Amino acid sequence: MPEPSKLQRLKAALAARGLSPRKMFGQNFMVDTNFAAAIARDATLDRQSLAIEVGPGTGLLTEALLASSPDARVLAIEIDRGLADLLRETFAAELSSGRLTLLEGDALSGKHRLNPELASQIREIKSRENRPRVVLCSNLPYNAGTPIIAIAATDADDTGISEALVTVQLELAERMLAQTGSEEYGALSALIALRATGRIERVIGAEVFWPRPRVDSALLRLEFLPWPLPVPHPTLSHKGRGEPLQKDEVAGFQAFLQQVFSQRRKTLRAALKPRVLPDELAAWGERRAETVAPIELLSIYRGLVAADG
């Protein structure tokens, strides 16, 4: 837990600039220096790594990432104009040296794409500086965690983000890793199961943030699978049953998942109306989506696509 004097100094520094946490941006600033340092160590940044930080806020995690290795390289994007100005002053030397690149704006362009400038910068820095390992390492804003992780998992912008080490709501972390048949299992769980391996590194109490959130958080680690995937892929949870999800199927499969899980108490037959399951999949029609494993949901989706011609 941070010393009260440190938190008071942070509050005073922000107040002097007319700044404070903004609910509209989902801001809960990380204020525990030791926790930030632990995340930075876990990120293991090296000469081949590029850290992507969405919502650096006051820069506590940014500072820890840069301090974790002389080779650390960070690309950050901040939506709050006042905080972006503060970060430019705080990290003037790192910005000048090229160890830090700071963009101002929303990390998202809609629900399914990153900000084009952010995506372009990731690709450019990867290529120019030969940093093939791209790690999303962020205290993610509460209102942006789901789309950002889904975009990274599907590589919608061809950025090649290979890993995520992020703080999110504990409920969201559990939903992402939920098993078939559990109450938390849903569209996001099924997608992540086919695109990543992951675990909760630790549960985080409210005291490491300011203002304190009303829910517990988690440090979530995900390792995303590359495109294209070999067939079969030996490490996927379905253990080689069926062909892995391919990139050109992602958009349609996500729409399918949203359809069947938005009516999770209905059978697949009812949820998919007016579409009809082909005969070879008809037996699945009396099952609810929450009882069907991710790879089986993918098989059902493919069967529908084939039947549609």
Q: What is the DSSP string of 148-168?
A: HHHHHHHTTTS--EEEEEEEE
Q: By mean pLDDT, which of 91-100, 147-156, 225-234 is the weakest? A: 225-234
Q: What is the pLDDT of residues 27-43, one digit of tens each?
A: 899 999 999 999 999 99
The pTM of the full predicted model, rounded to 2 decimals, is 0.92
**What average pLDDT does this structure show over 127-135?**
98
CATH superfamily of 247-308: rRNA adenine dimethylase, C-terminal domain (1.10.8.100)
pLDDT for the residue 162? 96
Confirm if 144 and 52 have CB atoms less than 8 A apart: no
Q: Which helix (H) or strand (E) holds 299?
A: helix 294-308
Domain boundaries, the chain: 4-224, 247-308
The answer to whether the Cα torsion of 272, 273, 279, 283 is positive or negative is: positive
CATH architecture of 4-224: 3-Layer(aba) Sandwich (3.40)
CA distance 5 to 41: 25
